[in-house]
Chains A and B, each alone.
Chain A
Amino acid sequence: GDSVTQMEGPVTLSEEAFLTINCTYTATGYPSLFWYVQYPGEGLQLLLKATKADDKGSNKGFEATYRKETTSFHLEKGSVQVSDSAVYFCALSDLRSGNLIFGKGTKLSVKP
């Protein structure tokens, strides 16, 4: 079945460092891809999405490009802030059911 694999964390960075969180997927067809973020004590929030190959999703300085040839959707940010500390989830939409399949999540800690 469809699945999502994310790099394991935790990831610890200093403020203003460059961030990459790797995400690859296995799917039949071309699902929509998403990044969600979960701040401590809260639910998930949609960060960005891409619905077709070569689409770039972006929001709050974060970007991710839908790469069909490498089945990847890596999350990047040029300069992280302490406020970006959270758990990040990569997800795809199951084409059969429409429901989201999530990766295990990557915890990011940004130190001042």
Chain B
Amino acid sequence: KAGVTQTPRYLIKTRGQQVTLSCSPISGHRSVSWYQQTPGQGLQFLFEYFSETQRNKGNFPGRFSGRQFSNSRSEMNVSTLELGDSALYLCASSFLGTGENSPLHFGNGTRLTVT
């Protein structure tokens, strides 16, 4: 069974630009969550999508948005990039979502660098 696939692996953008990250979950998984990982703040929850609906959202500004498609693939968008958005963005999928105690399976992440 293929794991969670995130593309691209690396991105370099300049301040003010926007970026879209992609995540393909494990086949059959309907929940996709996004996390931001930085050395200072650690892992912070961005949002979770389940069956194309945003089910939960973390404390991030509106510049961070996402969506999920009917095949469960998800995209995350960050507009008006700031230097502080430089981070590893991790996507995780699960069958039902962590609220149902179904384990998260993480992708290898997209490393975003904002210059």
Contact = CB atoms under 8 A, between A and B. Distances in A.
A101 B33 CA distance: 12
A76 B100 CA distance: 27
How big is the A interface, by class? 20 to 34
A51 B99 CA distance: 12
Given A43-B90, A93-B99, A99 B108 contact: no
Contact of A42 (B42, B45, B92, B108): B108
Interface string B92-113: 1000011111011111110000
Contacts, number: 55
B25 to A, nearest CB: 13
Interface stretch (A18-26, A78-86, A102-110): A102-110
A103 B56 contact: no
B43 interface: yes
A105 B6 CA distance: 22
B48 interface: yes
Interface of A: 32, 36, 41-46, 49, 51, 89, 93, 97-105
